Amino acid sequence: MTLEEFEAATEQELRQKADECFAKSENAGTGDKPYLYLEAQFYINEIQRREHERERRKDSRISTRDFWMECGVLLMILIEIILSLYGIRLSTKQGRDADALMTAQNSVLQNLNTSSAATARTLQSLQSTTEGMNDNIVTQLALNYLIPLTFAYDRAAVRLLATNGGLPQIKVWGFQPGSGDTTRLEKSPKVIETGHTASWPLKPVYDDVSMHTPNGSSVRIPVSFYVENAVQQRFSIHGTILATRHGHQVEMTINTTGIVPGWTNVY
């Protein structure tokens, strides 16, 4: 594949290329498998990069929307100030009683102060919301750097694949497909070295979707991993398996939704 073809390839074509690499790895020799897995990871990383780019554009649209909302609020303040000044002038021209004129002016100023205070609170709330969103994005990017695992589905073996994209060593102590109150940890973890891949069976999920999901329909299944990096920091990786039934076949796509420090509901 040339650079132009790679840049023009759709996500479906990239997924197909990754699936071809995994399929070839089944019959490849021991020396060729890492290169096939790395090539598959290359396509998967491009797919995830495009997904992150879409999310970044979405966040950019939200920031633009917030900017115009703030401009609208400032415009409202300006209109309120103009109307208030007009009211004061009108009251001054028509007022015959000095006490009544003073009362009207005080009322207008009080309303202006109340409106300005409410507007200031609205702007502060918008600023806090934007800062919170930025903090969440930075935190999630930092966690993705600490645990660089990428996930894929091996259609031929009906297994979930996890590839270590950069750390010297990642230990996976628990894997929980589907919803459950608690997860039982393994007595010994699966250790994934840099550039290596570990797998877990998805046959129970495959059979359940085949029996209970109508043809052509999809179902989202929660999935969680409980991992530990080389410096014994523990993290929980949460995501979903999008399973779609096509006749007697079930296609699955694994997406991560978040990484949080620590383990919960495990034993």
For 187-227, the pLDDT digits (tens) are 999 999 999 999 999 999 999 999 999 999 999 999 999 99
pLDDT in tens, 48-63: 888 888 888 888 888 8
Q: What's the pLDDT at 252?
A: 95
pLDDT above 90 (res 241): yes
Mean per-residue pLDDT, 157-164: 95
From the CB of residue 144, how many other CB atoms can be counted at a distance below 10 Å? 17
More reliable by pLDDT, 35 or 132: 35
* Average pLDDT along the chain: 84
From the CB of residue 161, how many other CB atoms can be counted at a distance below 10 Å? 22
Mean per-residue pLDDT, 176-188: 84
Q: What's the pLDDT at 188?
A: 92
What type of residue sits at position 88? I
pTM of the model: 0.46
Share of the chain above pLDDT 70, in %: 93
Return the closest-CA partner of residue 196 out of 15, 51, 30, 20. 30
What type of residue sits at position 202? L
Angstrom distance (rounded) from CA 240 to CA 177: 9
Mean per-residue pLDDT, 74-90: 88
Q: What's the pLDDT at 130?
A: 67
Which residues 6+ apart lie within 8 Å of 259 measured at CB? Answer: 140, 143, 144, 146, 147, 235, 236, 237, 238
Exposure string over 77-96, b if 16+ CB within 10 A, otherwise e = beeeeeebeebbeebeeeee
Q: What's the pLDDT at 82?
A: 92
**Cα maximum dimension of the chain:** 101
Q: What's the pLDDT at 22?
A: 85
